[in-house]
Structure 1
Amino acid sequence: MVPACEISLLFALICATGLTISVAAGQEGARPEVVVSQGRLQGTQARVKGTDRLVNVFLGIPFAKPPVGSLRFAPPEPPEPWTGVRDATSYPPFCPQDLTFLRRIQKTWKEKHGPLRTSEDCLFLNIYTPADSDKKTKLPVMVWIHGGNFIFGGASRFDGSALSAYEDVVMVIIQYRLGLLGFFSTGDEHARGNWAYLDQIAALQWIQKNIEHFGGNPGSVTIFGVSAGSVSVSALVLSPLAKGLFHKAISESGTAHLVSGTLSSVVAQKTAKLYACETTSSVAIVHCLRQKTEEEMVFNSSLGQSSNIPGLKEVGDRASIISTIEFLQPWLSVPPEVLPVIINEYLGDTDDSAELRDGFLDLLGDVAVVMPSLETLNYHRGSGAATYLFEYQHRPSLYRDTKPAYVKADHADEVAFIFGGPYLAGDIRLRDEVTEEEKHLSRTLMKYWANFARNGNPNGEGLAEWPSYNLDEGYLEINLEQKKAKQLKKKRVEFWTKIVPEKIKEKSAENKKEHGEL
């Protein structure tokens, strides 16, 4: 395990088809070139709104061999060299996935992308670096690990040019294998699993070897991500395989508490049967699955069937919400007899539909994100490392016609502002329909994040003070205006760390007594 004290941490909680796309050139004829370990690359230049500063952009750089054939369900291998000049002006394909998820996100969040395409040959990264930087002065490096529940997303959803131009950093956005292709395991040496995490480590190794050629400092690398990307950040902080590959970490809504990561041998057997593969041995299973097409690995209809899990739209009254909580009891990691205590805490005795909905959503958020995050944060703080916490509270103005009024700040809402969405001018657009206050918010978040990448401390001139997360449990509330606060969700933390364990202990003692009497 990597000693956590080696890595500064900034932690977040949120209150709630075959075409190639090229990045918009910022200056006609500008074609920057760079030599990396595999050969020469030629990129392009991009502009952002509000500044004349140009950014050199290099897209679709391979950091590993294509994970196809015998490399499907295998650790990534170093990329092959090339001869001549490799074009690095087109966005790489996404890793195999159901693109329906991204299309829905684009509609809801009003993102603007070009046509989407996928390929199993997808282990690429994109790099953005200030065009006018002094190559002798190595810049801090920020490495983005995208989210998407480990089943969708990719590097080319994002554009690092605004962060690079405004904050003088080198931005790197990486991809990794998803879904079965990213995590399938037989539970033995024939397919150990966690290929997605190994891809991320391979990307970080490539960055260490090559980022100086882009003006970056390999001794100042910050990894950051949201959702599944945040879970990845948390896992990489703990992994001995990632030791020395980065120096700071920003985790936004997700920890390694949330996933087991590797599909077990039992699941592997079930998966093999769904694909009509022999299950006599791990060798037979892996051989069979390697013969399947990319489309089969993503769109096998049997894998898409879900259990009878109630949807939120179905849980409108008290009885149905309680029924849903009872259904989720194994996920809550508490014995059934303790459920009434939890129901009373979050629902009380109300029958009001809005209060019931809010209580239910609070429960889901606390169990899935808040409590695991605070537990991780306290562990990290205890190691002596510099640690910071924020709660994001701003409801984006675009929600006025895309989400109901009760949705305030939602999962991953901060990401577009951190990437300088209002200032992007290329093919990729993130939150370009904003108010003036939101433009200011975006600049503020870019400064906080870049300051942390530079110094391990988000504070800086003109910014509201962000207290470190020490014994006072200070944190920053981020909205159109920022303010410091203490002891996030104190009452609920006490409930989950004191009351629930006490109730579990009491119920366990009662059960033992009853069995003893029998």
Structure 2
Amino acid sequence: MRRAVVTVLLLWALVLITQAAPAADDLVITLNHGRLRGGYVTVKGTERRLKKYLSIPYAQPPVGSLRLAAPQAVEPWEGERDSTHQPPMCVQDAEIVVNFSKTILMEFTPPGVSEDCLYLNVYTPAEASRGDKLPVLVWIHGGGLVMGAASQFDGAPLAAYENMVVVLIQYRLGILGFFSTGDEHAVGNWGFLDQLAALKWVQENIDAFGGDPQMVTLAGESAGGISASILILSPQAEGLFHRAIFQSGVATLGTYTTRTPLHFAQIVANLSGCDQSSTEQMTRCIRGKSQEEIIATTKKMTIFLGAVVDGVFLTDTAGELLKKKEVLKVPVMMGITNHEFGWLLPKSFAPPGWENGMKKTTNYLFFFVLFQVSMANGLITDEYLKNAKTPEEIRDGFTEILGDLVMTLPVVTVAGYHSDAGVPVYVYEFVYQPEVLKQSRPSFVKADHADDVGVMFGACFWDDHVKIIGIITEEDIKVCRTMMAYWANFARNGSPNGPGLVSWPQYERQKQEYMELGQAQTVKKKLRKDRVHFVTVTLPQKLEQLHTAP
């Protein structure tokens, strides 16, 4: 009898222990290709716990014969794979990432750089399980298609506060991601094909994390926004995502889609010391370069490599596909900050001392040569600087020129095309300045490029491998929660609207209503109306007059 009582007591104690602490096996998840062991994380401001699974392979390492080739399906592995460490960054100049982090006051130690980099990170509520069908947000990092990593972000706050699954992906960058000769020797689009492979992985595996493969939102900022905007034009992306968000970047920006990549390939080959006598020779030479040589060439490049019209991934340029309404019919949300070229971007290329003021005659050519705005330079400068008298006013005018031509106008144009295609479109302008950034930048800077990213990710709650350096105010937290809610609602319903939020109307060509996101949220009409009218109507008329003048 005594033995029976002892046995019962031991069993009861075991039950209590099991209930008090989650079993380690709760962190093991079984996917199609093998098992992963993740880790727990608690988000600041909430007691809710999450599971995070880092460095999940979604394709084979693109090395050796797979360099400059389409990604191949990941191979199965035996046993448990440790998914508690950040993946290596794809091949890039890591110093840029370090400097970027310092500029935006982010505490972040970049992992190493490796060609073996096709990994993704998943954040999901701790209690989530198969069949829960939570909304999924897949994030493509920015960085001009030459830099960036999944580890620059923490998806935990968004997943915790908004009860969703967040996936952060990596893709090949620069030469290894986008080198193309325009023929069979190097078709190109490797980085975009990586993104497609990651989305296919999500379709096949996200249910294991509690996510709904039929409720996937593809989102990105800057080059990530451009990527998402390009993928929505690809027939190969059909069914892989169901909403899309473009933040400060769309497919029509610059030369990010081209029919004729050979010229760019020749520039890369020349900088790499490769024989340019044939596309086969160029490709073989680039394939044979070491990682260090690839990075050295990258540092010398002044061109951007992007998407190629190959007849499969892209059947035409972005502009033409949008005009023909050949887009995936999914709801889209897109927007800009109100000072896209206020600080972060000019710091990387503007002449020394630009922030103290500029001289119209000496500095405007530098900007326009960089962005290749050709014969319209004088007319554009006259319009934007007509009232500028001081060096500071000239500086402010040039930051406006670049922001409008490179970001605002393309976003407004693409929003109109998607609206014409008959899908729900939501447009925003982000105007909020977190207090910590205000104190670290000149007073003339407003909401800068990428300022919206930390807010929608809930960076005010980051407290893991990335942190914001400085004091987070109550107002910062309030705006964070509002942005997170809008983004999560869009991921969940295809509309940002929800209880307790200012109603955000759909964008359409007549009213052109958009949401101004700041301390308050305000519905406005016709984003940068006068500037858009000048560039789209007045400028072409003036150029035509110049062409026809005797």
TM-score, normalised to structure 2, is 0.83
Q: Which residue of 1 aligns with 2:53?
A: 58
Moved more, 146-155 or 267-276: 267-276
Q: Which residue of 2 aligns with 1:240?
A: 235
Cα shift at 1:325: 5.8
Q: Deviations over 1:165-185 (max 9, x none)?
A: 110111000000011111111
Q: Which residue of 1 aligns with 2:225?
A: 230
Query: What's the secondary structure of 1:66's corresponding residue?
Result: coil
Aligned pair count? 480
Structure 2 counterpart of 1:199, which letter?
Answer: D
Moved more, 288-297 or 275-284: 275-284
Structure 1 counterpart of 2:514, which letter?
Answer: Y
Q: Does structure 2 conserve the Cα–Cα contact (< 8 Å) formed by 1:421 and 1:431?
A: no
Q: Deviations over 1:89-146 (max 9, x none)?
A: 1110000111111111221222122353110000000001111135332111100000
Q: Which residue of 1 aligns with 2:397?
A: 359
Moved more, 138-147 or 28-37: 28-37
2:418 equivalent among 372, 377, 380? 380
Query: What's the secondary structure of 1:187's corresponding residue?
Result: coil
Structure 2 counterpart of 1:478, which letter?
Answer: L
Distance in 2, matches of 1:115 and 1:504, equals: 48
2:458 equivalent among 420, 427, 437? 420
Q: Does structure 1 conserve the Cα–Cα contact (< 8 Å) formed by 2:97 and 2:110?
A: no
Moved more, 493-502 or 368-377: 493-502
Q: Which residue of 1 aligns with 2:386?
A: 348
Matches for 1:165-176 after TM superposition, within 5 Å? 165-176=160-171
Moved more, 256-265 or 45-54: 256-265
Q: Which residue of 2 aligns with 1:8?
A: none
1:468 equivalent among 487, 490, 506? 506
Identity of aligned residues (%): 43
Q: Does structure 2 conserve the Cα–Cα contact (< 8 Å) formed by 1:73 and 1:191?
A: yes
Q: Which residue of 2 aligns with 1:493?
A: 532
Q: Does structure 2 conserve the Cα–Cα contact (< 8 Å) formed by 1:65 and 1:123?
A: yes
Q: Which residue of 1 aligns with 2:373?
A: 332
Show structure 1 runs of 5+ residues with no match: 1-25
Structure 2 counterpart of 1:64, which letter?
Answer: A
Moved more, 230-239 or 458-467: 458-467
Query: What's the secondary structure of 1:414's corresponding residue?
Result: helix
Tell me, yes or no, if structure 1 residue 280 matches structure 2 residue 284.
Answer: no
Q: Which residue of 2 aligns with 1:406?
A: 444
Distance in 1, matches of 2:220 and 2:234, equals: 16
Alpha-carbon spacing, 1:31–1:291, altered in 2? closer, same or farther (3 Å) = farther
Structure 1 counterpart of 2:46, which letter?
Answer: T
Structure 2 counterpart of 1:344, which letter?
Answer: D
Alpha-carbon spacing, 1:152–1:137, altered in 2? closer, same or farther (3 Å) = same
Q: State the 4+ residue runs in structure 1 displaced beyond 4 angstroms.
A: 26-31
Tell me, yes or no, if structure 1 residue 396 matches structure 2 residue 396.
Answer: no
Q: Which residue of 1 aligns with 2:516?
A: 477
1:503 equivalent among 534, 542, 545? 542
Q: Which residue of 2 aligns with 1:15?
A: none
Q: Does structure 2 conserve the Cα–Cα contact (< 8 Å) formed by 1:332 and 1:367?
A: no
Moved more, 291-300 or 451-460: 291-300
Query: What's the secondary structure of 1:290's corresponding residue?
Result: helix
Q: Which residue of 1 aligns with 2:9?
A: none
Tell me, yes or no, if structure 1 residue 260 matches structure 2 residue 289.
Answer: no
Distance in 2, matches of 1:211 and 1:217, equals: 7
Query: What's the secondary structure of 1:300's corresponding residue?
Result: helix
Query: What's the secondary structure of 1:250's corresponding residue?
Result: strand
TM-score, normalised to structure 1, is 0.88
Cα shift at 1:28: 9.6
1:102 equivalent among 90, 94, 97? 97
Query: What's the secondary structure of 2:52's corresponding residue?
Result: strand
Cα shift at 1:496: 1.3
Q: Deviations over 1:148-192 (max 9, x none)?
A: 111110001111111111101110000000111111112211101
The structure whose RCO (Cα within 8 Å, separation 6+) is larger is: 1
Distance in 2, matches of 1:232 and 1:37, equals: 27
Q: Which residue of 1 aligns with 2:353?
A: 313
Q: Deviations over 1:447-494 (max 9, x none)?
A: 000000000110111112212112311111111221111111111111
Structure 2 counterpart of 1:283, which letter?
Answer: E
Q: Does structure 2 conserve the Cα–Cα contact (< 8 Å) formed by 1:233 and 1:249?
A: yes
Alpha-carbon spacing, 1:458–1:370, altered in 2? closer, same or farther (3 Å) = same
